[in-house]
Amino acid sequence: MSQKKNTPQAMPASAVTGQTLVIPDVENPIWSKVLMASLVAVLILMTVMSFSYGISGDEIDMNEYGKAVLKFFTSFGSDKMVLDMPKDYNRDGVMQYYGGLFDMICALVNKVSPLNEFTTRHILNAWAGFLAIFFAAKICVRVFNKNAATFCVWLMFLSPFFLGHAMNNPKDIPFATATIASLYCIIRFFDHLPKPPVKWYVWTILSIAVAINVRVGGILLIPYMVVFAVIIYIIKRFFQDEKPEPKTWIKPLVIVAVVGYLGGSLFWPFALENPITNPLTALSEMSNFKVNIGQLFEGTKVFSGELPTNFLPKSFMITNSYVLLIGIVLMVMFVWGVRKNKNASIIYFIFFTGIFPMAYIMYTHANVYHAWRHVLFMFPSMAITATGGWYFLSNYLAKRNFKYGMVIAAVLLLEPAYFIAATFPNTITYHNAFAGGIEGAYGNYEMDYYYNSLKQDADWFKKNELPKYKPTDTVILASNAAHIMIQYFKDNKNVKVLYVRYPERDQKNWDYSVFHIALIPEEEMRAGTWLPSSTLFKATVKGYPLSAVAKRPSYDDIKGFDALQRNQIDSSLAYFSAYMKADPNNVDMMNVLANIYHQLHRDDVAQQYKAQMDKLLSAGAGND
């Protein structure tokens, strides 16, 4: 950052501080242009990139929910399906507790969009992610300067975990955007207390209402205002020799809190049924989410409700870039020293909003999964915090005649930039050296839990295998993620997608398979035995397969199970043995054979199959 003396730009006096606010603006006007150019570049990049990302695990359900929300409002509340969604889309029974604003917007835009409905959703999702970057940059301008804001833009864009989610996460990204936008409005609202202009009343109320309409967790923004008021009072009163008058803030804050809370029900059908109590009911239900999902963590499958306390902080540490993590550490080092900075209250407030959600979840042992995606709304605050760390380091070094602090940060950005370019569009798989990189994380942590890579399988299959068949032929495609694969083949009437659990694949009739590692036993994933010799295509990250297309090696396994059903043991053994020649690494089939021979009191043969299984499974993670 430039260390030249800034020309202060005075703003109207603030009763919160009792003094004139001074916002620094780098004297070199080039940074205004650089910031604007960076924002435009990131917007274009995110829009273009969104076309390459796949349908995520949540998108199908939320897409239908958005349509139901839109029907509710266009029917003036007479179509109430949204309050009792079909089980196919509301498997956990909690969908009505989600604010539906973003999904309704997607459904509305899809009415006029010429693009595929999920392509349209991905563009809108990417734009939501961009807005999170935009508002984080605005806070950086307010607290630091445009140089720092520019760095924050690229820091967030080049965060592989955030970038990946920004493309197809309809739950957490819009909420992260609404949260950081609200924090910005709250900060500006406090700038003008005790008599904020109508403009900032409107924007602050609207931002909080939007956040609640996106996710019920937006209610948290109301107590956040109280926290900010306390921080301001402590900093001004005890460290900056000022005398704030918090009593004069009560009325404006109450107005914002009450109207913002009630506004949070406007585009949320469930909340509209009772705007006073239903949002609180939803908050209680979502805070005690009871669905347990198996998660691969530190090499072991653990149900999400039983994950250790360190799950969130460790997931955050191993899936973020070094430049962001170092920036956070730097901010911790400088945090006490900034207490007399005129923007100290805002800095501490943003720092608080970055760490509180994770700390609270750790304390309450709330049910979370898929790394730290459930607290993605804290990420913009953490990015601002990291930016602050580098900003203060740069200033500290400049006083000692070293003017290249931010150059170091910029160089460190090259590491995640290279990963994104090399692994696109599987950016969400990023793991740093704390997890051993991709090599150490594969088989030990969840990699592609949102099923993004399945699009690559579907695209390859349509281009390379499907043309071999006539339109009148029926091709059966088995998948452990059939609900997503069905979407890719909606227009291919001769493709029948069949849901098949991976361990049951030999008992079902199919021609091709597309299996994804999220639902593969971890020992087979690490050993690579889930990939048959007939594998045709693998969607990989640095050579490690995330999902794969395979042609059925043989139909003898089905014949063997049919014979087994008829108690024709000799015939079943003959079929199974023939199948093993086509698929020699199928450990599930080895287990079947071992059990049959054990029941036949042929333990010598059974042990041979067991030993072969153990040898294969102990081989370690397989790659290309």
Instruction: Give domain status of residue 60, yes or no.
Output: yes
Contacts of 247 (CB under 8 A, 6+ apart): none
CA pair distance 63, 120, nearest whole angstrom: 11
CA pair distance 244, 250, nearest whole angstrom: 13
pLDDT on residue 3: 41
Q: Tokens standing for 488?
A: 């890719």
Nearest CA to 431 out of 515, 352, 315 is that of 315
Contacts of 551 (CB under 8 A, 6+ apart): 465, 511, 512, 534, 536
Does 489 share its domain with 351? no
Does 186 share its domain with 333? yes
Nearest CA to 621 out of 513, 506, 515, 530 is that of 530
Does 384 share its domain with 475? no
Q: Tokens standing for 80?
A: 């109430």
**Where is the domain boundary, 355, 385, 412?**
412
Domain count, the chain: 2
Instruction: Give domain status of residue 418, yes or no.
Output: no
CA pair distance 554, 556, nearest whole angstrom: 5
For the CA atoms of 283, 288, 293, 297, the dihedral, rounded to the nearest 10 degrees, stands at 100
For the chain, what is the total number of helices (H) and then of strands (E)?
26, 9
Terminal alpha carbon distance of the chain: 43
Exposure class string for 95-111: b at 16+ Cβ within 10 A, else e: bbbbbbbbbbbbbbbbe
pLDDT on residue 24: 44
Instruction: Give domain status of residue 285, yes or no.
Output: yes
Residue in the block written with tokens 């957490």: 172
- Tell me the residue type at 27: E
* HEC assignment per residue over 331-356: HHHHCCCCCCCCCHHHHHHHHHHHHH
Instruction: Give domain status of residue 209, yes or no.
Output: yes
Does 265 share its domain with 204? yes
Does 57 share its domain with 108? yes
Contact 559, 575 (CB under 8 A): yes
CA 94 to chain centre: 19
Whether residue 425 is preceded by a cis peptide bond, meaning omega within 30 degrees of 0, is yes
Q: Calculate the alpha carbon distances from 591 to 25, 119, 455 in Å.
A: 69, 43, 32
Instruction: Give domain status of residue 602, yes or no.
Output: yes
Does 372 share its domain with 500? no
pTM of the model: 0.92
Contact 546, 447 (CB under 8 A): yes
Does 206 share its domain with 116? yes
CA pair distance 77, 73, nearest whole angstrom: 6
pLDDT on residue 501: 95
Does 364 share its domain with 217? yes
pLDDT on residue 86: 87
**Where is the domain boundary, 396, 412, 428?**
412
- Tell me the CB-side half-sphere exposure of residue 88, using CA atoms within 13 A: 6
CA pair distance 62, 600, nearest whole angstrom: 51
Does 398 share its domain with 477? no
Q: Tokens standing for 381?
A: 């605050």
Whether residue 194 is preceded by a cis peptide bond, meaning omega within 30 degrees of 0, is yes
Q: Where are the alpha helices (DSSP H) in 144-159?
A: 146-157
pLDDT on residue 7: 40
Nearest CA to 170 out of 63, 266, 45 is that of 63
CA pair distance 417, 155, nearest whole angstrom: 10
Instruction: Give domain status of residue 425, yes or no.
Output: no
Does 403 share its domain with 511? no
Q: Calculate the alpha carbon distances from 392 to 347, 395, 405, 597 in Å.
A: 12, 5, 9, 70
Strand partners, 515: 548
Domain that holds residue 322: 12-412
**Which long-range contacts link 225-230 to residues 24+ away (Cβ below 8 Å)?**
225/186, 225/253, 225/256, 225/257, 226/253, 227/349, 227/352, 228/186, 228/187, 228/190, 228/345, 228/349, 229/190, 229/253
Contact 279, 213 (CB under 8 A): no
Does 68 share its domain with 159? yes
User: CATH number, domain at 513?
Assistant: 1.25.40.10
Does 506 share its domain with 385? no
Residues (pLDDT < 70) of the chain are: 1-27, 620-624
Residue in the block written with tokens 């669905």: 291
Instruction: Give domain status of residue 1, yes or no.
Output: no
Q: Tokens standing for 460?
A: 């390859």
CA pair distance 51, 328, nearest whole angstrom: 32
What one-character DSSP code corresponds to residue 434? Answer: G
Structure confidence by residue, pLDDT tens digits, 539-573: 999 999 999 999 999 999 999 999 999 999 999 99
- Tell me the residue type at 242: E
**Where is the domain boundary, 412, 432, 463?**
412
Contact 550, 536 (CB under 8 A): yes
CA pair distance 81, 87, nearest whole angstrom: 12
CA pair distance 318, 269, nearest whole angstrom: 38
Nearest CA to 261 out of 209, 304, 203 is that of 209
